[in-house]
Structure 1
Amino acid sequence: MRVLVVEDEAKIRSFVVKGLKAEGFNVDTAANGSDARLMALQTPYDAIVLDIMIPGQDGISILKELREKRINTPVILATARGGLEDRLQGLNLGADDYLPKPFHIDELVARLRAVFRRSSGALLNLVKVEDLTINLGTREVKKGSEAVELTPREFNLLELLMRVPGRVYTRTQILETVWNYDFDPNTNLVDVYIKRLRAKVDKAEPRLIETVRGVGYRIRKG
């Protein structure tokens, strides 16, 4: 799940990013209205956490522009301005939720997953290849009828591969998407996590997770 966090206070922004990444989210950030507007218009985020009081274009006007352009990315407004008028204005313009500051990161995570479930629909949350199923909303994984426990990073890697069965992802693409890392030719991080995934969800031959030599990895089409 890719999230844009719009927050001008560096300490709060760092706190939120750290908490969301620990829960397996991919996070981009913006510290002002101009950057936030461009990123929200150009990138298909799964959700946006949008502070109202930011330098430049304020959060309310960004939200209004998104909805006028029929961009329906779920938006959670987060602000210290907790008055009824502010909440109503944001919700009437199409905000999906409202979270007053200060807030606990667990509450933000729960609300993000809730708006994502509502926006995508229960059926769209399920991705299945043969007997392997993942639920994008609840982040549950099943191999046949057996539940499988994955770490947040393992889940994100499996989700990436399963969204488009048959598509080959290079190690660079996987690092950039799952870890937000630039490619390091000396790292074997992707290979280590592929090995972990296989041990949990892909023990039997023929493998669902295929190695494409000299290129990367893919989930074979069922």
Structure 2
Amino acid sequence: MRVIVVEDDDDLRLALTTELAGAGLRVDEAADLGTAHAALSVGRYDCAVFDRMLPDGDAITYVDRRRQQGWGVPVLFLTARDSLADRVAGFEHGGDDYLVKPFAMAELTARVVALGRRTGGGRPSVLRHADLTVDCARREVRRAGVLLTLTAKEFAVLEYLMTRPDQAVARAELIEHCWDASTDPMSNVVDVVVRRLRGKLREPELIHAVRGHGYRLGGLRPSA
């Protein structure tokens, strides 16, 4: 899941991106609407988190204008303005959720994940393939009924592969959706995470290497 956080307070922006990245999301960041617009114009995002008041304007005005142009990315507004009128305005001008500062980071993460699932075209929160089950809402993975312990990044990679069963997924695509923009697309981070993930999923293998390309979540292959 790919998210952009638009917040001009450096400390809060760092805290938000760290929290969301720790939950396995790919997080890009911006400190103003101009930078956010540039990123949103070229990238595909599952959710956008906007502080209301930014150095170059009110995010509500920006989102409202983009909605009129057919922009459909789910938006969560963050603000210290907690009046009923402010909350209603947020929803009326294109917001999908509204969180008043101060807030609990765990609640923010849960709301962002819930909004991000909307961009999956209504895909279920529980994904199944062979004897593997991924509960995206609870962030639980079971293989043949056995609960597995995965890191946030392992979960993110597996979740993405589960949405594309039997398709070859390029390493660059996994980096785009599961890592932040600073990750070198030529690095071996994908291979390292997939190697650990395959070890935790155990035999018979479900994740198969596609030579020169990436990985595919396929059918069961008997172990040798």
Q: What TM-score bracket applies, with the shorter chain setting the length?
A: 0.7 to 0.9
* 2:154 aligned partner: 154
CA contact (8 A) 1:34 1:57 kept: no
Q: Cα distance, 1:127 vs. partner? A: 2.8
Aligned counterparts of 1:176 and 1:105: Cα–Cα separation in 2? 24
* 1:80 aligned partner: 80
* 2:206 aligned partner: 208
What whole-Å deviation, never above 9, does each CA across 1:109-134 have from its counterpart, x for those lacking one? 12223334566587533333222222
* 2:96 aligned partner: 96
* 2:143 aligned partner: 143
5 Å-filtered alignment, 1:169-180, equals: 169-180=169-180
Aligned counterparts of 2:48 and 2:122: Cα–Cα separation in 1? 20
Q: Cα distance, 1:35 vs. partner? A: 2.4
5 Å-filtered alignment, 1:1-222, equals: 1-117=1-117, 124-180=124-180, 181-185=183-187, 187=188, 189-204=189-204, 207-220=205-218
1:221–1:164 Cα change, 3 Å: farther
Q: Cα distance, 1:156 vs. partner? A: 0.8
Percent identical among aligned pairs is: 38
CA contact (8 A) 1:49 1:75 kept: yes
Structure 1 stretches lacking a partner, 5+ long: none
CA contact (8 A) 1:37 1:62 kept: no
For 1:182, give the aligned amino acid: D
Q: Cα distance, 1:162 vs. partner? A: 2.4
1:183–1:38 Cα change, 3 Å: closer
Q: Cα distance, 1:158 vs. partner? A: 1.0
Aligned counterparts of 2:186 and 2:58: Cα–Cα separation in 1? 38
User: Partner of 2:167: helix, strand, or coil?
Assistant: coil
CA contact (8 A) 1:202 1:209 kept: no
Structure 2 stretches lacking a partner, 5+ long: none
Q: Cα distance, 1:26 vs. partner? A: 0.8
CA contact (8 A) 1:6 1:51 kept: yes
- Greater RCO, 1 or 2 (C-alpha within 8 Å, sep 6+): 2
Q: TM-score w.r.t. structure 1 length?
A: 0.84
Q: Cα distance, 1:147 vs. partner? A: 2.7
Aligned counterparts of 1:102 and 1:20: Cα–Cα separation in 2? 17
1:66–1:15 Cα change, 3 Å: same
Aligned counterparts of 2:198 and 2:116: Cα–Cα separation in 1? 28
CA RMSD, Structure 1 to Structure 2 (Å): 2.5
Aligned residues: 218
Aligned counterparts of 1:11 and 1:47: Cα–Cα separation in 2? 21
Aligned counterparts of 1:52 and 1:44: Cα–Cα separation in 2? 22
Aligned counterparts of 2:196 and 2:20: Cα–Cα separation in 1? 22
Aligned counterparts of 1:176 and 1:123: Cα–Cα separation in 2? 20
For 1:10, give the aligned amino acid: D
For 1:145, give the aligned amino acid: G
Query: Which piece of structure 1 moves more, 3-12 or 161-170?
Result: 161-170
1:120–1:162 Cα change, 3 Å: closer
